[in-house]
Structure 1
Amino acid sequence: MNLTLMTTFTMPAERLVCEEALMSDLTGKVALVTGGSRGIGAAVSSRLAKQGAAIALTYVQGSDQAREVAKQIEADGGRAAVIQADLAHPEAAAHAVEQTVRELGGIDILVNNAGFLTYGPVAEVSVSDLDRVLAVDVRSVFLAAQTAARHMGEGGRIISVGSCFNGRVPGSNFVLQAMAKSALIGLTKGLARELGPLGITATIVDPGPINTDMNPADGDTADFQRSLTALGRYGEAEDIAAAVAYLAGPGGRYVTGTSLAVDGGYTA
């Protein structure tokens, strides 16, 4: 009888200790999350903050959403900074990193989440769309990483949010996204090799169909996207946030130069 009581009360306590350790493993770290005001970016910002990191998040439009994310982080006892940055402009990424350093005292984790989504027949792709996709999804990632690496020390993390299109293009109309997100692979491998001796890792998280306002689980193409996954369902933004948190934390210290697919088996 006593043994039963001891088991009943000991196990929850152990779980609480494990959960507390998990949620505090980024204490003292500073993270910049680009595109952190909604969807995956907001989930990543919130998750890293709950694990102890101070958060800077960028937005292009919708300052109210960005400030709401920051307000919640601060209400939970964290620190947050909101930065307006259109990453299509060459100077914006570096400025966002430098502002993070000024306002929060440094940068340990860079999450390149911002992206520009457009799709359509390749014959109809405009030069302006091509330029903006490459500017936001590739150039800004390089420039943010370049600037962040100057401030990071041992244990620095550069994490980019890619796409399941890296490994599987399900049909026509996705040429720009497949091209831009695939470019992150070469960039990340190069960063991993060059920054590895400094103790800085570089990785990618590749989401599959994720339920956000940009790709809702009840959207016009949702059933088709679900059919391409092994699990037969959409993921949630928190699934991506959990993967980013793993790579940003102690568990990710020996992971670099590679991609982590969080896609429900989309590329299986």
Structure 2
Amino acid sequence: MHSENENSQARKVLVIGGSRGIGEAIVRRFAEQGDRVTFTYASSEEKAQTIAQQTQSQAIKLDVSDRDALIEAVAEAGALDVLVFNAGLLSAGDPLETAADEIEKLFIVNIHAPYFAAVEAAKEMNKGGRIIIIGSVNADRIPMKGLTAYGTSKAALQGVAKGLARDFGDREITVNVIQPGPTDTDMNPAEGPMNETMHSFMAIKRHAHASEVAGMVYWVAGPEASMVTGAALTIDGGFGA
């Protein structure tokens, strides 16, 4: 696999949650550019290994809700150039009826896990490294009922990025959140039952392609974005406008 990126040598990249949807597109984008990619998956080992073979990357099974296992996996990756945290849970429903355990796990996966992964990665990360967390436009706009916990978890990531950007700035490590709007994935297909409702909030009335989100991630990880840190960058077709 050859590199089209002439501005830097192959980088060491870890993608947490890289076996489907946006995560898979991110793995493929970095691998296509010649970077050395390791990614994690929660299930579907056969699919993960197929992606790994196709992209010449490494797949590791990981439950990100297990804090010790997550920290160990990041530590074993060694000195990274790029960490992308893409794993996440979606829970929607009446907060008066949703089980407390469900919401607690949502917060563990969507808030605690990216925080601990980012901190662990920074311990050995190379100077000028990149930490990128995949959030959601629902951090800024919740246009319908039932998304309080999910929106809260994604809004918290903005605080993580702003704080860690300052904590790691002396080493020129940037920390940013990418906030997609409706994106065509298995979890939110473009032809799904909610597409017309979601598109009604948007200026560009279609789902994003996962490759478009991956393109933004790749840019944030590159040299042209070296002064972008502590930011929440939205790619949502105007959903939050």
Correspondence 1:36 to 2:18: yes
* 8 Å contact from structure 1 (residues 153, 199) kept in 2: no
SS of residue in 1 equivalent to 2:142: coil
Percent identical = 36
SS of residue in 2 equivalent to 1:131: helix
Paired AA for residue 85 in structure 1: L
Structure 2: unaligned runs, 5 residues or longer:
none
Correspondence 1:97 to 2:70: no
SS of residue in 2 equivalent to 1:43: helix
Residue 140 of structure 2 is matched in structure 1 by 167
SS of residue in 1 equivalent to 2:96: helix
**Partner Cα distance (2:164, 2:48) in 1:** 29
Correspondence 1:243 to 2:216: yes
Residue 48 of structure 1 is matched in structure 2 by 30
* 8 Å contact from structure 2 (residues 3, 34) kept in 1: no
Residue 52 of structure 1, CA deviation: 2.0
* 8 Å contact from structure 2 (residues 94, 146) kept in 1: yes
Give 1:1-268 correspondences, 5 Å limit.
23-25=5-7, 27-74=9-56, 80-101=57-78, 106-268=79-241
Residue 26 and residue 129 in structure 1: after superposition, are their counterparts in 2 closer, same or farther (change >3 A)? farther
* 8 Å contact from structure 2 (residues 137, 239) kept in 1: yes
Residue 24 and residue 43 in structure 1: after superposition, are their counterparts in 2 closer, same or farther (change >3 A)? farther
Paired AA for residue 112 in structure 1: F
Residue 25 and residue 59 in structure 1: after superposition, are their counterparts in 2 closer, same or farther (change >3 A)? farther
**Partner Cα distance (2:202, 2:213) in 1:** 16
Residue 26 of structure 1, CA deviation: 5.3
* 8 Å contact from structure 1 (residues 26, 48) kept in 2: no
Residue 21 of structure 1, CA deviation: 8.0
What whole-Å deviation, never above 9, does each CA across 1:23-67 have from its counterpart, x for those lacking one? Answer: 454532111111100000000011011122111111111111111
Structure 1: unaligned runs, 5 residues or longer:
1-19, 75-79
**Superposition TM-score, scaled by structure 1 size:** 0.86
* 8 Å contact from structure 1 (residues 97, 148) kept in 2: yes
SS of residue in 2 equivalent to 1:205: strand
**Partner Cα distance (1:212, 1:206) in 2:** 15
Higher helix share goes to which structure?
A: 1
Residue 26 and residue 173 in structure 1: after superposition, are their counterparts in 2 closer, same or farther (change >3 A)? farther
Residue 90 of structure 1, CA deviation: 1.4
* 8 Å contact from structure 2 (residues 4, 34) kept in 1: no
Residue 57 and residue 198 in structure 1: after superposition, are their counterparts in 2 closer, same or farther (change >3 A)? same
SS of residue in 2 equivalent to 1:211: coil
Residue 245 of structure 1, CA deviation: 0.1
Residue 154 and residue 217 in structure 1: after superposition, are their counterparts in 2 closer, same or farther (change >3 A)? same
How many residues in Structure 1 have an aligned counterpart in Structure 2? 240
**Superposition TM-score, scaled by structure 2 size:** 0.96
* 8 Å contact from structure 1 (residues 37, 66) kept in 2: yes
**Partner Cα distance (1:160, 1:24) in 2:** 25
**Partner Cα distance (1:187, 1:234) in 2:** 27
Paired AA for residue 86 in structure 1: D
SS of residue in 2 equivalent to 1:223: helix
Residue 13 of structure 1 is matched in structure 2 by none
